[in-house]
């Protein structure tokens, strides 16, 4: 952790020496995410093996299970965000999300070989994830001083990524130690998930500011009304449009594997490379965003992505692409929440963040379809060139759109 002895010299709020540089609540939320990600990535890592080798499902059946319910998740995310605002109980809604996903872990082996039951469990797990994201980010944005949001989100995302990297290691330690008992992996994952819920319950405080009288509107119509705010609307449009010209991770790794001639064995390492860079850069880039402005850093992250595409199109250097790709995540994922958070009134913050995240997720899904189509019609190089040009143009457009708010 970062010990801020010189904080008072920055002219920021003076704090006692040796205070945590990030507020306790953000650290607690980071710990919840770290532990929860260990739990969920444990399952993600062994699920394909379990479903196919242990239960004998075919890859196609596995694909059907996996491609479930994007639409449901999006709706749940919006509805959950709005409920959190209506009741002003973000911790409760996030807790329900974490709890639902925890309960799914022992339900997986209980579902046995039934594809229908397995599909239902996986869908509930996704719903849990959809429920918790927006209230969690709203809590982070409400827990740190406005001037330090970039760093707060950076710390949270770094801790989250540590969990994601540890999960598969824990899973395979359990699998090796028990001689291949998948149910043991699910039970351990469940225990870890329960610990995450306990950390949330015991250490995360909700910001339950009494709503002023008369009570401000928190209906879903009021949530949509957020888009009438010019600044927030621009952020939503910019995020959505940039999402449309962002090539999905899986495509990036596939192209990298092909262009770089990487041995098939090392293919899964590519996403770990991106995650490692993200982990290392999330905090420093978040701090940089606080100092230089978050919107410029957010756009600079997309410039890094354009650069990654260009390297992929050109020499195809492995390390350069992964570093640029990880930098893109460090400069955009948490930073976008830090850009939008302060624009949203506290009583509608969860709804607003849910709206922003859902918009971005939707256009990214569309982008996959779009990119797949361009690839099919013109080939992979042309497809990537089109996306790189589109992304560069959109970053430029976004610069003009957001300039006023930087």
Partner 1 sequence: MNPIRRLPVLLAAVAVLGGTAAGYAAWATRRDPVPVPVAAADGGVLRPGRLMFRTATGQVAGVPLGDTAALPAAAGPVCSRFSTAGGTSICLVAKPGALVSTDAVILDRSMRETRRIRLAGIPNRAGMSQSGRMASWTVFVTGDSYNEGGFSTWTGILDTRTGYAVTNMEDIPLTLNGRRHHAVDVNYWGVTFAADDNRFYATLATGGKTYLVEGDYANWRVRALRENAECPSLSPDGTRLVFKKRVSADPRRMWRLHMLELSTMRETPLAETTSVDDQVAWLDGRTVMYAKGPDVWSVPADGSGAPAPLVRGASSPVVVR
The residue ranges that bind partner 1 (CB under 8 A) are 24, 45-46, 48-49, 52-53, 56-64, 66-67, 115-116, 168-169, 171-172, 174-181, 183-184, 187-188, 191-192, 194-195, 198-199, 202-203, 248-251, 253-254, 263-269, 271, 368-369, 371-372, 375-376, 379-380, 383
Give 119 or 296: the residue with its C-beta nearer to partner 1. 119
Question: CA-CA distance, 275 to 341, in Å (whole number)?
Answer: 24
Q: Minimum distance between the CB of residue 284 and partner 1, rounded to whole angstroms? A: 27
CB of 401 to partner 1, least distance (A): 28
> Which of 153/371 has CB closer to partner 1?
371
Nearer to partner 1, 168 or 296 (CB): 168
| Cα angle 299-302-304, degrees, rounded to a multiple of 5 | 115
Nearest to 287 by CA among 134, 136, 157: 157
Cβ proximity to partner 1: between 114 and 219 the closer is 114
Q: How far is the CB of 70 from partner 1 (least distance, A)?
A: 9
Residue closer to partner 1, measured from CB, 193 or 226: 193
> Which CB sits closer to partner 1, 11 or 261?
261
| Residue whose CB is less far from partner 1, 270 or 303 | 270
Nearest approach in angstroms of CB 136 to partner 1 is 19
Q: What are the C-alpha distances in Å from 10 to residues 4, 5, 287?
A: 11, 10, 13
Q: How far is the CB of 59 from partner 1 (least distance, A)?
A: 4
State in angstroms the smallest separation of the CB of 249 from partner 1.
8
CB of 156 to partner 1, least distance (A): 18
Task: Tell me the three-class secondary structure of 314-326, residue by residue.
Answer: CCCCHHHHHHHHH
**133 and 77 in contact (C-beta within 8 Å)?**
yes
């Amino acid at each position: 952790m970062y010990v801020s002895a010189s904080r008072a010299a920055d002219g920021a709020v003076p704090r006692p020496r040796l205070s945590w540089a990030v507020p306790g609540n953000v650290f607690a939320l980071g710990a919840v995410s770290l532990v929860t990600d260990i739990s969920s990535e444990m399952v993600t890592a062994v699920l394909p093996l379990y479903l196919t080798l242990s239960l004998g499902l075919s890859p196609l059946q596995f694909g059907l299970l996996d491609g479930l319910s994007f639409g449901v998740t999006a709706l749940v995310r919006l509805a959950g965000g709005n409920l959190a605002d209506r009741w002003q109980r973000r911790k409760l809604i996030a807790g329900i999300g974490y709890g639902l996903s925890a309960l799914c872990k022992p339900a997986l082996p209980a579902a046995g070989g039934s594809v229908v039951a397995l599909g239902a469990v996986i869908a509930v797990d996704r719903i849990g994830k959809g429920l918790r994201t927006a209230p969690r980010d709203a809590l982070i944005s409400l827990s740190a001083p406005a001037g330090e949001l970039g760093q707060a989100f950076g710390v949270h995302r770094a801790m989250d990524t540590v969990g994601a990297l540890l999960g598969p290691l824990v899973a395979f330690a359990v699998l090796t130690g028990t001689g291949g008992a998948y149910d043991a992996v699910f039970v351990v994952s469940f225990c870890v998930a329960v610990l995450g819920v306990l950390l949330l319950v015991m250490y995360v405080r909700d910001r339950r500011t009494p709503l002023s009288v008369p009570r401000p509107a928190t209906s879903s119509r009021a949530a949509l009304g957020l888009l009438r705010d010019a600044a927030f609307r621009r952020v939503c449009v910019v995020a959505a449009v940039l999402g449309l010209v962002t090539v999905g991770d899986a495509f990036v790794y596939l192209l990298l594997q092909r262009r770089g001639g990487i041995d098939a064995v090392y293919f899964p390492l590519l996403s770990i490379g991106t995650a490692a860079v993200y982990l290392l850069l999330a905090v420093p880039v978040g701090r940089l965003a606080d100092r230089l402005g978050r919107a410029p850093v957010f756009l600079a992250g997309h410039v890094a992505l354009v650069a990654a595409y260009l390297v992929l199109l050109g020499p195809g250097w492995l390390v350069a692409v992964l570093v640029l790709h990880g930098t893109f995540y460090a400069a955009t994922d948490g930073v976008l929440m830090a850009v939008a958070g302060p624009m949203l009134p506290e009583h509608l913050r969860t709804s607003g963040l849910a709206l922003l995240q859902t918009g971005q997720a939707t256009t990214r899904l569309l982008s996959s379809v779009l990119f797949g189509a361009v690839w099919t019609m013109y080939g992979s190089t042309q497809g990537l060139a089109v996306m790189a040009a589109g992304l560069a143009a959109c970053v430029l457009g976004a610069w003009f759109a957001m300039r006023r708010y930087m």
